[in-house]
Amino acid sequence: MAASKCTRLSEALTGQLLESVDSVLFDCDGVIWRGDQAIPGAPEVINTLKKHGKRVFFVTNNSTKTRKMYADKLGKLGFNATEEEVFGTAYCSAIYLKNVCKVEGKVYLIGSNAMRQELEKMGVQPLGVGPDPISGVQIDWANVPLDQEVQAVLVGFDEHFSYMKLNRALQYLCNPHCQFVGTNTDTRLPLEGGKAVPGTGCLLRAVETAAQRQAQVVGKPSNFMFDCMASQFGLNPDRCLMIGDRLDTDIMLGSNCGLKTLLTLTGVSTVADAEANQKSDCPHRQRMVPDYYIDSIADILPALEA
């Protein structure tokens, strides 16, 4: 195996690496697809891994889709995938609120319809999806009506995020017994052509700032997403490979959980980013150095077919 971290993955090393793992965890956007187009060769890689007896999971910080929506997209793009193999932050947040926070009442949700659906499947009642227009004056905002059954605030991606939603979250979180959970801290969502839009992390930071509280974050690089998979499927971290395009989420998740890590260069992070982290004396940055890197996930296909 690699003598040092951040090693380019050759065909020979690929064979050794795949022999050393039973399960492969894939980030989605920038790794197996871009937007609505599969990365060339990605479906063949995943389907061949499964033919070789490897377990495959899809791990995403995107909270705008349910597991079923992801499974449907994977199928349309040619991937052999099931709903049970998808672990997104909408689903994992619902598990967190139910099993860790022990929420039995309602949740004030800054988030998507997909998050609402996953919460309801878990038996948690969400409030707040959709627009919340502002009215009245400041004293009215400070005394906005609150549902006394709300036991937690959950913040994910919300295209209807507004001042009134921020205010309502603050008022709930003034109660120290109200729990505070965020899906992820990604601040920017990269788009084609070098463009980007604000990510969930911007919304979460706004709520944290207003409430003067820090959220419990469920998504990558938090261990919780891997813990969900490990508990459901009995995964051994030593026999797992995390493949992603972002050093600060995917690779750090792998480092935090003791997984082998592979950076693909079809998304956000670059080899230069990884090498800069490797040269740093900062322990936090050292956890953002992959074991291996590869131009595209399709490059492991020759070793799979050998």
Q: Which residues are annotated as a binding site?
A: 27, 29, 220, 245
What distance, in Å, lies between the first and last C-alpha atoms of the chain? 18
Q: What is the length of the chain?
A: 306
Give the span between the Cα atoms of 168 and 150, in whole angstroms: 12
Q: Are strands 179-182 and 216-217 parallel, antiparallel or unpaired?
A: parallel
Give the span between the Cα atoms of 58 and 42, in whole angstroms: 13
Binding region for substrate: 220
Nearest to 111 by CA among 159, 47, 164, 171: 159
Q: Cis bond leading into 221, ω under 30°?
A: yes
- How many other C-beta atoms are found inside a 10 Å radius of the C-beta of residue 128? 22
Q: Is the dihedral of CA 303, 88, 214, 188 positive or negative?
A: positive
Give strand ranges (E) for the chain: 7-8, 23-26, 33-34, 37-38, 55-60, 86-88, 106-110, 125-127, 150-155, 179-182, 188-190, 196-198, 216-217, 240-244, 260-264, 292-294
Pick the catalytic residue from 22, 29, 227, 299. Answer: 29
Give 219-244 as a DSSP string. Answer: STTSTHHHHHHHHHH---GGGEEEEE
C-alpha 236 chain-centroid distance: 20
Whether 250 sits among the annotated catalytic residues: the reply is: no
Whether 29 sits among the annotated catalytic residues: the reply is: yes
Classify each residue of 101-123 as buried b or exposed e, where b means 16 or more C-beta atoms within 10 Å of its C-beta.
bebeebbbbbbbebbbbbbeebe
Pick the catalytic residue from 22, 27, 158, 238. Answer: 27
Give the span between the Cα atoms of 6 and 15, in whole angstroms: 17
Binding region for Mg(2+): 27, 29, 245
The residue to which tokens 């193999």 are assigned: 85
Catalytic residues: 27, 29
